[in-house]
Amino acid sequence: MTTHPVPDAAALDALLRRGHEALRQGRHARAIGAYEEAKRTFGELADVVDFSLDLARRRAARDSPAQPVAPGVHRRYGAAAAAAGLLDAKQLPADAEPDSPSADRPSAEGPLVSVIMPIEHVPEGLGHGPRAVVGEAVRSVLDQTCPDWELLVCDASDAEDVAEVVHLHPDRRLAHHRLPGAAGATARNHGIARAAGPILAFLAPEDVWHPRHLEEVVRVHRAGPHPVVRSGQWEAALDGEDLVAASVTPEPRAEAALSTVSLHRAALDEVGVFDPRLDGAQDRELLARCARHWTPVQLDAPLVLRRRPAAGDAVGPAPEGGPAVDAAVDAAAAPSVDAAIDTALRPRALDDWRPVTDPARTIAIKIAAPSRETAWEWGDFHFARHLADALERLGWRCAVHCLDRWYTHDADINLVLRGRVRFDPDRSRAARNLLWSISHPDRLVGREELDAYDHVFVASSPFAAELDQLTDAPVSVLHQATDPEVFADPEQPAELPEPVAFIGNSRGVRRRLVSWAVEADVDLAVWGTRWERFLPERMVHGDHVPNDELAAHYAGAAIVLNDHWETMAAHGYLSNRLFDASAAGAFVVSDPAAGIEETFGEDIPVVDSPQALRRTVDWYLQHPEERRARAERARERVLARHTFDHRAWELTLVLRRLAAAQAAGSAQSAGSAQSAERRSSRRTAFAAR
């Protein structure tokens, strides 16, 4: 009899992630190898591994061609909605076809949206057979105009129909997880644990999404960050293709349909996941917990079709909450689940969101600029001001302290933007201390410095993993960012004298990419100080570009060059210029740095020699359409994940966890809270990537 070792959760998760990522990339042999290794090592989990292995083998053999499983879902959605008089009123296209075809690709750094479809039983009585009903739900995800998603079908039904429907679509963004006998909360939590996207959306198998559902959801999340977003919905009783009855769900409504809700992963880090102890009301109880902290954005358009059997009412009553649900909700915050859900579904304006923070608390952002008089010359100063603006939008008070004020002004919270110079926190005070390493990783002292902080953020995924082994402080990834109000959508691009631009000081050295441009005889326009000894006079067009004019310069160039300090490139610290210039719509060419491809895919070309730079510049100057397409994709990635509003939101979550740990009182409680925070921080860091 073969015995297997006790499962190591991290090792198993790493193997499954390796297999799932390879499967998404179409690298079937590598996926099969990872799944086979997982099966050999953890045989008692063969059910889940076997199904993934079978899926990889099926796709490798391509023995299941894609074919429609039911009448076109958009014709069905559009015809029913038009008959109900909904589409014209909400200004949605009557034919409900996608604006553009979905590309069969995840983004370079993982999907933006993870769609979780829990199936406890196969729906019946909806005008088609169970197989076709599930197929329509899957098809409505495949036909989304936003292609940056993954679909995790968490199947607790033990029905072969579900597996066959998923296998009919050889799309590497789909994954089927067999979970026979699992409860609904367990199936949803299984999907959450394996989701790679920062935005989580849920779809019941009896519901159907409008093709623009994810597009609109992503637009709102991008405008935030907004922890909870809810789409409009309508309910219809269908008999085959015929509409029997339809109704827009009243608003607000105690019944919260999870198919209409999307959550930022960080929200679940804050409130927890579905409670498997509850019977039949886990969705509403989770939203009640969310309601304690946030009022979600409410989209007016009915982007979710909730299908009901023709024999039933178009709109049914809200399910009973029950004492177990009511007891799970803090009575002081919400006396009942219905009241909490009513609050949670109250519509609001996009700019009216505030997390629960104490506005009297002050954050001192410490930067290495010597003084206020010279701070404007330092990129860290502008970085700090953009970050302070975002934090203040969330209710904090912020001050930026240059080096000469580091130890002369007290604050409740110190946030150190670690670059050249070390800050020594005063541990005798009750202030909380955060370190964000954004540059010069070679200057970090090590354990002695890191252990003085309550939390360490690192603008590099690989280096964060290294530092995590050196300190007892929680460590998480927090990349640099941009301010869309400054860099996105410049009103008028600048008229530059040359098609290729570089903006940055020489630092008294021959910066690598600029030197390559000179050697390769690239027509280059440079702005910055101390370039005279390194460049021909014709290339230097100014010693400074004001921060509020940078976006126009980036947008006015055909190509923007970006380089890194050698130590930053080696440790995976991405230059802030990558985020700012991309947000402005610039096409960027960079020198090599660990992590560029994971963050930007192929949309920021990397060159490693003067010859490669010359070839790349020539090719893209001759192909402006391709250049603009890549620039737009890079811009979308930055605005979706890498703004200062996103960073302020992540910092706020950590500060709230630290406050909760401090309030716990005893050393044992504080230690448990710190351990929980370390785990939550890592989940938040993974979501941010």
436: left (phi over 0), alpha (psi -120 to 50) or beta: beta
Helices vs. strands in the chain: H and E counts, helices first: 27, 20
Domain shared by 520 and 495, yes or no: yes
Structure tokens at 345: 């579904």
User: pLDDT (tens digit, 9 = 90+) per residue, 196-205?
Assistant: 888 999 998 8
Cα separation, 579 vs 147, whole angstroms: 22
Same domain membership, residue 603 and residue 465: no
Does the pLDDT at position 347 exceed 50?
Answer: no
Q: How many CA atoms lie within 13 A of 430 on its CB side?
A: 6
Residue 602, amino acid: E
For residues 443 and 512, membership in a common domain is answered with no
* Residue that wins the pLDDT comparison between 577 and 131: 577
**The pLDDT of residue 627 is above 90:** yes
CA distances from 432 to 387, 456, 463, 687, 689 (A): 18, 12, 23, 24, 25
CA gyration radius, the chain: 26
What is the percent of the chain with per-residue pLDDT over 70, rounded to a whole number? 69
Give the CATH number of the domain where residue 629 resides.
3.40.50.2000
| Residue after which a domain boundary falls, among 313, 344, 375 | 344
Are residues 499 and 470 both part of a single domain?
no
* Cβ proximity of 444 and 420 under 8 Å: no
Confidence (pTM): 0.58
Question: What DSSP designation does 606 have?
Answer: B
66-95 per-residue burial string, b: 16 or more CB within 10 A, e: under 16:
eeebbeebbebbbbbbbebebbeebebeee
Taking residues 347-351, what's their average pLDDT? 30
CA nearest to 132, candidates 240, 258, 259, 210: 240
CA angle 202, 316, 306 (to 5 degrees): 35
Q: What is the DSSP-derived secondary structure letter of residue 264?
A: E
DSSP-assigned letter for residue 190: H
Query: Structure tokens of 619?
Result: 């090719």
How far is CA 467 from each of CA 367, 454, 458, 535, 675, rounded to the nearest angstrom?
21, 14, 9, 39, 17
Q: Which own/partner contact pairs does 273-277 have at CB distance under 8 Å and 24+ positions apart? A: 273/185, 273/188, 273/189, 273/192, 274/184, 274/185, 274/188, 274/189, 274/192, 275/185, 275/328, 276/183, 276/185, 276/186, 276/189, 277/324
**Residue 594: inside a domain, yes or no?**
yes
The full DSSP string for 5-61 is PPP-HHHHHHHHHHHHHHHHTT-HHHHHHHHHHHHHH-GGGHHHHHHHHHHHHHHHH
Residue 517's nearest CA partner among 504, 501, 503, 532 is 501
Measured in whole angstroms, the distance separating CA 635 from the mean position of its chain's CA atoms is 15
CB 582 within 8 A of CB 609: no
**Residue found under tokens 């090792």:** 11
Provide the pLDDT for residue 48. 53
Residue 3 lies in a domain: no
Encode 491-518 in three state secondary structure: CCCCCCCCCEEEECCCCCCCCHHHHHHH
Spatial distance between the Cα atoms of 578 and 675, rounded to a whole number of angstroms: 34
Note whether residue 668 is domain-resident.
no
Question: What pLDDT score does 318 carry?
Answer: 30
Return the pLDDT at 664. 64
Q: What is the pLDDT of residue 497?
A: 92
Domain of 154: which CATH number?
A: 3.90.550.10
The answer to the question of residue 667 being in a domain is: no
180 versus 202: which is more confidently predicted?
Answer: 202
Asked, for residue 499, whether it belongs to a domain, the answer is yes
CA–CA dist 597, 590 (Å, integer):
11
Q: Determine the pLDDT at residue 267.
A: 80
User: Strand 500-503's sheet: what is its strand order?
Assistant: 540-542, 524-527, 500-503, 559-562, 588-590
- Give the separation between CA 214 and CA 231, rounded to whole angstroms: 10
pLDDT score of 462 = 87
Owning domain of residue 565: 484-641
The total number of structural domains that make up the chain: 4
**43-52, 168-177, 228-237, 648-657: least confident range:** 43-52
- 449: domain CATH number? 3.40.50
Which residues make beta-bridge pairs with 414? 364, 433
Is 2 contained in some domain?
no
Q: Does 171 share its domain with 196?
A: yes
Residue 349 has pLDDT above 60, yes or no: no
pLDDT digits (tens, 9 = 90+) for 374-410: 777 777 888 998 998 888 877 788 888 888 888 887 7
| pLDDT at position 26 over 70 | no
Tell me the torsion sign for CA atoms 241, 104, 220, 21. positive
- Per the model's pLDDT, the better-predicted residue between 76 and 139 turns out to be 139
Return d(Cα 68, Cα 482) in angstroms, integer: 43
Beta bridge partners of 542: 527
pLDDT recorded at residue 346: 34
Please state, in angstroms and rounded to a whole number, the distance separating the CA atoms of residues 657 and 635.
32
Q: What is the mean pLDDT of residues 448-471?
A: 91
pLDDT tens digits, one per residue of 472-490: 999 999 999 999 888 987 8
Please count the residues of the chain: 689
Round to whole Å and give the CA distance between 509 and 566. 12
Could you give phi then psi for residue 501, rounded to 5 degrees?
-130, 150
Whole-angstrom distance between the N-terminal and C-terminal Cα of the chain? 43
Residues 27 and 77 in one domain: no
Residue 676 belongs to some domain of the structure: no
Element (H, E) at 416: strand 413-418
Q: Are residues 105 and 56 in the same domain?
A: no
Whether residues 104 and 117 fall in one domain: yes
Out of 39-53, 218-232, 545-559, 567-581, least confident range: 39-53
- Give CA torsion, residues 510, 514, 516, 518, to 10 deg: -100
Q: Are residues 469 and 514 in the same domain?
A: no
Q: What percent of the chain has pLDDT over 90?
A: 24
Are 295 and 173 within one domain? yes
Distance of alpha carbon 162 from alpha carbon 51, whole angstroms? 12
pLDDT at 295 over 90: no
Please tell me which residue, 28 or 582, carries the higher pLDDT value. 582
Q: Given a cut of 50, is residue 564 above it in pLDDT?
A: yes
Q: Are 172 and 110 in contact (CB under 8 A)?
A: no
Average pLDDT, the chain: 74
Same domain, 379 and 294: no
Q: How far apart are CA 394 and CA 656, in angstroms?
A: 13
341-369 core/surface letters (b: 16 or more CB in 10 A; e: else) = bbbbbeeeeeeebebeeeeeebbbbbbbb
Shortest CA distance to 673 belongs to which of 658, 652, 653?
A: 658
Average pLDDT on 32-53 reads 69
476 plus 493 within the same structural domain: no
Cα–Cα dist 620/558, whole Å? 9
Is residue 424 a part of any domain in this protein?
A: yes
Residue 158 has pLDDT above 50, yes or no: yes
At 682, the pLDDT band (50, 70, 90 cuts) reads: very low
Of 481, 505, 537, which marks where a domain is finished? 481
Distance CA 416, CA 401 (A): 10
Q: Is the peptide bond before 474 cis (omega within 30 degrees of 0)?
A: no
* Domain finish residue from 464, 481, 498: 481
Is 94 a residue whose pLDDT tops 60?
A: no
Which residues are CB-neighbours of 557 under 8 A, at least 6 positions away? 496, 499, 500, 501, 525, 586
pLDDT band at 139 (very low <50, low <70, confident <90, very high): confident
Report which of 241, 262, 239, 259 is spatially closest to residue 249, judged by C-alpha positions. 259
Cβ 522 vs Cβ 614: under 8 Å: yes
Q: Average pLDDT for residues 106-128, to the nearest whole number?
A: 71
